[in-house]
């Protein structure tokens, strides 16, 4: 007898979804602290705020994705790095305002749910949250057959942090003569992948597991390097009076992101030769025959985060970074 059409036959496996929640719950609980009031699985997530001794606490939030770097993860069959990319990106974003991360929420959408793939993705998120000292307290996993290509998925995340209102860092203290101190990236981070895929895979027909002499690694390994978190470096400087602003270098490059926090009558004076450009960017420019202006607009070019500090306190800032054994470069000034 015909039992009729089922949801599973239409492409949505409820049993697999329930099993993935069980696995996610175990992973997420490793990030919990005494502020997380309920386990994952309810209709909302509960997080207790401890605001003392803050006088005027302000919540700061950021939502982001990983973009077409996910294509690289799917091509390589490696899924535990992009979740960490997502968390680190969001951590860096909210901390530019001086906020401390509190909790993270994720969204994952797939054409067909693979429990193992979901577990890998969330494991990366958990790793990022534990390193950031924040909790993964909830999310959504959506199985959407016919909407995404088979074997592909999309992820996004929301980070919520907190900062004392009078300690918000928004660039309003930036003045002419301030110095830009750049911290190195370790690669593309999470930007420029649509152009990179066009160059490497469409124009030059490279394979994800091709070994690239100039990079001393495979193309997949290079392109999946985890987006750096600058949490510890930011924490070391954010309460210093000489720190006037911070920028996280993502899509739009050094100028595009740093100009966001400058007054309209201020400009950046960047010394583009003041730090070593990573080999991956030389390779992209050469193989894609890209103009320098395009490179500067699309990529971080080896600088992932920038501190804008008082020109009279540069050595103090350097000393704090030295204490963390962090590399840095004086890359320009505000004019």
User: Where do the domains of the chain lie, and which CATH numbers do they carry?
Assistant: 14-167 (3.30.1330.10), 179-334 (3.90.650.10)
3-state secondary structure of 216: coil
What is the pLDDT at residue 2?
A: 58
Digitized pLDDT (tens) for each residue of the chain, 335 residues in all: 556 888 787 788 888 888 888 888 999 999 999 999 999 888 899 999 988 889 999 999 999 999 999 999 999 999 999 999 999 999 999 999 999 999 999 999 999 999 999 999 999 999 999 999 999 999 999 999 999 999 999 999 999 999 999 999 999 999 999 999 999 999 999 999 999 999 999 999 999 999 999 999 999 999 999 999 999 999 999 999 999 999 999 999 999 999 999 999 999 999 999 999 999 999 999 999 999 999 999 999 999 999 999 999 999 999 999 999 999 999 999 99
Q: Tell me if the bond preceding 67 is cis, omega within 30° of 0.
A: no
Residue whose token pair is 């000292």: 133
Q: Which of 288, 315, 309 is nearest to 299 (CA)?
A: 288
Give pTM, 2 decimals. Answer: 0.94
The CA distance from 24 to 126, in Å, is: 9
CB of 105 closer than 8 Å to CB of 40? no
The CA distance from 259 to 268, in Å, is: 7
Structure tokens at 103: 């909790």
What is the pLDDT at residue 10?
A: 76
Distance, first Cα to last Cα, the chain: 79
What is the pLDDT at residue 11?
A: 81
């Amino acid at each position: 007898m015909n039992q009729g059409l089922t949801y599973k036959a239409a492409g949505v496996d409820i049993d697999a979804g329930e099993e993935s929640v069980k696995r996610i719950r175990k992973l997420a609980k490793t990030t919990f602290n005494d502020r997380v009031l309920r386990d994952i699985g309810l209709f909302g997530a509960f997080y207790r705020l401890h605001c003392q001794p803050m006088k005027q606490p302000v919540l700061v939030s950021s939502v982001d994705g990983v973009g077409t770097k996910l294509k690289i993860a799917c091509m390589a069959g490696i899924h535990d790095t992009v979740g960490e990319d997502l968390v680190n990106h969001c951590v860096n974003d909210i901390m530019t305002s001086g906020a401390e991360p509190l909790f993270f929420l994720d969204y994952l959408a797939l054409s067909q749910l693979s429990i193992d793939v979901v577990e890998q993705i969330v494991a990366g998120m958990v790793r990022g949250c534990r390193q950031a000292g924040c909790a993964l307290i909830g999310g959504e996993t959506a199985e959407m057959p016919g909407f995404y290509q088979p074997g592909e998925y999309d992820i996004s995340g929301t980070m919520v942090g907190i900062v004392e209102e009078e300690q918000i860092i928004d660039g309003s203290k930036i003045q002419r003569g301030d110095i830009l101190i750049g911290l190195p990236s370790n690669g593309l981070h999470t930007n420029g992948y649509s152009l990179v895929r066009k160059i490497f895979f469409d124009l030059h027909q490279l394979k994800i597991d091709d070994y690239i002499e100039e990079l001393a690694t495979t193309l997949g390994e290079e392109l999946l390097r985890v987006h750096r978190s600058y949490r510890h470096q930011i924490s070391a400087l954010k309460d210093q009076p000489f720190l006037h602003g911070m920028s996280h270098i993502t899509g739009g490059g050094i100028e595009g992101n740093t100009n966001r926090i400058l007054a309209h009558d201020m400009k950046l004076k960047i010394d583009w030769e003041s730090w070593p450009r990573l080999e991956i960017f030389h390779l992209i420019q050469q193989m894609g025959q890209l103009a320098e202006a395009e490179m500067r607009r699309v990529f971080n070019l080896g600088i992932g985060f920038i501190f804008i500090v008082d020109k009279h306190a540069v050595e103090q800032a350097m000393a704090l970074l030295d204490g963390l054994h962090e590399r840095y470069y004086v890359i320009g000034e505000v004019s």
